Amino acid sequence: MAGVLYVVATPIGNLGDLTVRAREVLAEADLVAAEDTRHTMRLLDHYGLQARLESLHDHSSTRRIEQIVARVADGDTVALVSDAGTPLISDPGFELVRAAREADLDVRPVPGACAATAALSVAGLPTDRFRFCGFPPAKAAARERFLTELAGASATLVLYESSHRVVATLAALADAFGSGRPAFVAREMTKRFEQYVRGSLGSLAEAVAAGEIPTKGEFVLVVGGAPEGRADDGTLRELLAVLLEELPASRAARVAARLSGRPRKECFAIAEALRGG
């Protein structure tokens, strides 16, 4: 009989957040496939659990994935874990789960902590529809495309960011979506210095730049979706025409983006066209 591949969530900071079932599955698994075995060893040690650990990360070979799939097919129970939170969510594991599904194996979740849903659950922003965006691209062109694509999305957005890029990312979000967009910063959730700040993209960008929100630790950014009442093309052109009487195109575009809920780049392109005309 084939075994089971369990996808096991682990804590995102507070070790007390490992579920009872996760402990049982980790203790009983024939193999724990871990993103970083030393990291997972500390978690297992904390609970006095013994397990056979092997590494599985984004650079693992196809052969390695095939070996794990073969073990499950032969009847072993394998538990997949990442360093923190839910595997596959901006973490390794996708190739293994896809391969196991393609082999028609039994793949079951052991749900638990996930930074995205933890932040969303306390942000006070709409949760009926949300879009998980992972880490924004680091390279300028890809980042610009990413922001342009998301600017008009009406769902609440959830982003991961590292401490050394959070200042630039909040500034870029404020610039692309309008500084008035409601947003939320969750820093170091469940840890000693956890911090939660609600504000507008503009005020949060200023708070991190000024050090009121320290750029230390781990961050999730939650951003309210684009307002539903987005101005149509005609209204936007009229608005820009009036603004252009008083302001240069870039500032007119910025104000129009904020008032209309349309992306700044789109407003700028129309402003330039109006100027040209």
Q: Which is nearer to ligand SAM, 32 or 240 (CB)?
A: 32
| Sign of the torsion formed by the C-alpha atoms of 147, 149, 150 and 152 | positive
State phi, psi for 65 to the nearest 5 degrees: -65, -40
Position closest to ligand SAM via CB = 85
Q: What is the SS3 assignment for 42?
A: helix
* Per-residue contact string for residues 1-30; x = within reach of ligand SAM by CB under 6 A: -----------xx-----------------
d(CA 190, CA 165): 21
Of the pair 158, 256, the CB lying nearest ligand SAM is at 158
The single-letter DSSP state of residue 154 is: -
Applying CB under 6 A, does 190 fall inside the site for ligand SAM? yes
| Smallest gap from residue 109 Cβ to ligand SAM (A) | 12
Q: Give the torsion through C-alpha atoms of 150, 238, 230, 251, to 10 deg.
A: 40
Query: Cβ closer to ligand SAM: 160 or 184?
Result: 160
The CA–CA distances, whole Å, from 184 to 116, 125, 254 equal: 12, 8, 21
Residue from 160, 177, 184, 268 that binds ligand SAM (CB under 6 A)? 160
Q: Is 223 in the site for ligand SAM (CB under 6 A)?
A: no
Q: What distance in Å separates the CA atoms of residue 253 and residue 204, rounded to the nearest whole number?
A: 21
- If the CB atoms of residues 43 and 239 are measured against ligand SAM, the closer one turns out to be 43
Site for ligand SAM, rule CB under 6 A = 12-13, 82, 84-86, 89-91, 114-116, 160-162, 186-191, 218-220
